[in-house]
């Protein structure tokens, strides 16, 4: 074969390989940010932003810079926090099936790069949030500290209350979204925070039941690990029951359509929770509760937006 052709083929092969490696590397960095978690939280952040504009009679289009700063800042702070979570948990993630393929475990990304990546994203996110408003920046910083320091570095490995502590950071996104538009934080914003806060324990307890043995192996004292499934199920039902009246605190403002759908969603979740006391397969029930919780959160926050558009 012609020497020139062979050399050309090698160049093409090298280019393809380098491109492929670059694509994989970007996918690895993207995996650090836990895109699914970020995207679900962005729905709640945007809901807070949209509702703030509606009730404060502010035009989002006229304040598009606040929208960009708020959404971009929220996404970057959450992505940075998740990356730092990966960095901190790299010593135990190999023990759990759901985390043993993370780039920090496989070694695809060096530890120092993960740390720099997480700190950079978090810092940029906070800059954008402070550009939106002082309140948004402070809330972003509080959420980041709770998630990275108080939850990941401390309570996650020391107490079964870790889920409750982590729920604080998980409930901050709608507050950040609201604060980006209205720094004063209307009472509606705090109800959104409460909904998110109470929603998280049954959601993560269900996940912990599904992965109970993995958490036990990793030495993480999740509630099912230290107290058993029976106690965990009672706790889940308690939080779901508490979520119903809390979600209905918005009824006088949001109207009958919201009230009806929120009540149906809440009662349906409670019925599924109570069914857990009669089902023989706890893992199957936990899986159903987990899926229901995801649908509940998505539907109720999209509903909040839709009823104010139509």
* Residue 70 pLDDT greater than 50, yes or no: yes
User: Structurally, how many domains does the chain consist of?
Assistant: 1
* Residue 270 pLDDT greater than 50, yes or no: yes
CB within 8 A of 253, min separation 6: which ones? 188
User: Percent of the chain scored above 90 by pLDDT?
Assistant: 87
**What pLDDT, on a 0 to 100 scale, did the predictor assign at position 184?**
87
* Residue 1 pLDDT greater than 50, yes or no: no
Domain span at residue 273 reads 37-306
- Say if 28 falls within a structural domain: no
- Say if 195 falls within a structural domain: yes
**What pLDDT, on a 0 to 100 scale, did the predictor assign at position 299?**
97
**What pLDDT, on a 0 to 100 scale, did the predictor assign at position 228?**
97
Confidence of residue 193 (pLDDT cuts 50, 70, 90): very high
- Say if 141 falls within a structural domain: yes
- Say if 13 falls within a structural domain: no
CB atoms within 10 A of CB 5: 9
* Residue 263 pLDDT greater than 90, yes or no: yes
The per-residue pLDDT for range 84-134, each reduced to its tens digit, is 999 999 999 999 988 888 999 999 999 999 999 999 999 999 999 999 999
Structure tokens at 39: 């995207």
Chain-wide mean pLDDT for the chain?
92
Confidence of residue 24 (pLDDT cuts 50, 70, 90): low
Please report, for the chain, how many H helices and E strands are present, in that order: 15, 0
- Say if 22 falls within a structural domain: no
The per-residue pLDDT for range 200-222, each reduced to its tens digit, is 999 999 999 999 999 999 999 99
Structure tokens at 36: 């699914």
- Say if 3 falls within a structural domain: no
Q: What is the CATH number of the domain that holds 148?
A: 1.10.600
The per-residue pLDDT for range 222-247, each reduced to its tens digit, is 999 999 999 999 999 999 999 999 99
Residue written as tokens 């918005």? 250
Q: Indicate the Cα dihedral angle 256, 51, 140, 300, nearest 10°.
A: 30
The one-character DSSP state at 271 is H
Q: How confident is the model over 137-164, as a mean pLDDT?
A: 97
* Phi/psi of residue 219, nearest 5 degrees: 80, 25
- Say if 14 falls within a structural domain: no
- Say if 6 falls within a structural domain: no
Confidence of residue 168 (pLDDT cuts 50, 70, 90): very high
């Amino acid at each position: 074969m012609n020497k020139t052709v062979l050399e050309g083929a090698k160049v093409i092969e090298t280019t393809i390989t380098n491109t492929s490696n670059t694509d994989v590397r970007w996918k690895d960095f993207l995996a650090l940010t836990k895109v699914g978690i970020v995207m679900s939280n962005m729905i709640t952040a945007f809901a807070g932003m949209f509702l703030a504009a509606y009730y404060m009679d502010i035009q989002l289009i006229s304040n598009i810079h606040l929208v960009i700063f708020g959404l971009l800042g929220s996404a970057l702070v959450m992505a940075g926090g998740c990356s730092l979570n990966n960095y901190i948990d790299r010593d135990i993630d190999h023990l759990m099936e759901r985390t043993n393929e993370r780039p920090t475990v496989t070694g695809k990304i060096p530890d120092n790069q993960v740390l720099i990546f997480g700190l950079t994203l978090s810092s940029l996110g906070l800059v954008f949030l402070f550009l939106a408003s002082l309140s948004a920046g402070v809330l972003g910083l509080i959420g980041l500290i709770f998630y990275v320091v108080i939850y990941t570095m401390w309570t996650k490995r020391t107490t079964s209350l870790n889920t409750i502590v982590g729920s604080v950071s998980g409930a901050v996104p709608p507050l950040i979204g609201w604060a980006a538009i209205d720094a004063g934080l209307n009472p509606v914003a705090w109800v959104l925070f409460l909904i998110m806060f109470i929603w998280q324990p049954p959601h993560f307890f269900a996940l912990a039941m599904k992965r109970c043995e993995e958490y036990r192996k990793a030495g993480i004292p999740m509630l099912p690990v230290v107290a058993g499934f029976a106690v965990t199920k009672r706790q889940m039902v308690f939080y779901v029951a508490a979520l119903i009246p809390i979600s209905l605190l918005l009824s006088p403002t949001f109207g009958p359509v919201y009230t009806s759908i929120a009540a149906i969603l809440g009662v349906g979740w409670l019925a599924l929770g109570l069914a857990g006391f009669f089902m023989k397969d706890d893992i199957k029930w936990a899986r159903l509760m987990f899926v229901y919780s995801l649908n509940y959160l998505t539907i109720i926050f999209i509903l909040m937006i839709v009823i104010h558009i139509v």
